[in-house]
Homo-oligomer: A and B are copies of this chain.
């Protein structure tokens, strides 16, 4: 890696960096690449080559699981400044499951090769602690998603989803089809359509082809805060 900005970004994101020897630092920097992914492209899945650690510079990634009949459940998303450890699960003995990772938008990431992560983890306890801490943090994200999916009523989940998307994109008009919302929420299109129709009748949202506009965020927030 030759870019000074990328290098500074990498050093600040990887808290184990000060604990590396000079040789280890060089090895890490020489085996980190800046990579661009187009919106919607598949970055990682079980049958791809093991990628290594990803650090998001811009854009966002979605991490999900898929059933054998194609049903998807979103586990969490990864935003700029955050890192993805499950793309290096091949070198983490504690992680025995596999996930899919897609680019939600055009995204730029720094990729540290899995063989270097493996080597550093083996030789340097700070790298091992870092990698497992990063995994444990995502465990918390996944538990949140799991409780949402298993315990929460669907109207509440949809209200939270719409408010989160609106806040994250900074707009009240979400250009998403019902199919896309269903996929992102790990639900079925019919269920999303039915609930959006209800939200629209209540005046919470306005629906048009390929988009949902939030009209009454106060009402949606009230729904989102309701105890199930």
A129 at the interface (CB under 8 A from B): yes
Question: Do B68 and A143 touch across chains, with their CB atoms under 8 A apart?
Answer: no
Cross-chain contact A68 with B129 (CB below 8 angstroms):
no
Rounded to whole angstroms, the CA-CA distance of A228 and B69 in the bound complex is: 8
Stoichiometry, as copies per complex, reads: 2
Residue-wise, chain A 135-147 has the 8 Å CB interface mask toward B (1 for contact) of 1111110111011
Interface membership of A221, Cβ < 8 A? no
- Residue A2 at the B interface, CB < 8 A? no
Nearest-neighbor residue (CB-CB) of A186 within chain B = B150
Q: Return chain B residues, CB-CB under 8 Å to A125.
A: 125-126, 129
Cβ B68 vs Cβ A147 within 8 A? no
Q: A residues engaging B (CB < 8 A)?
A: 65, 67-69, 71, 73, 92, 94-97, 125-126, 128-129, 132-133, 135-140, 142-144, 146-147, 149-151, 186, 227-228
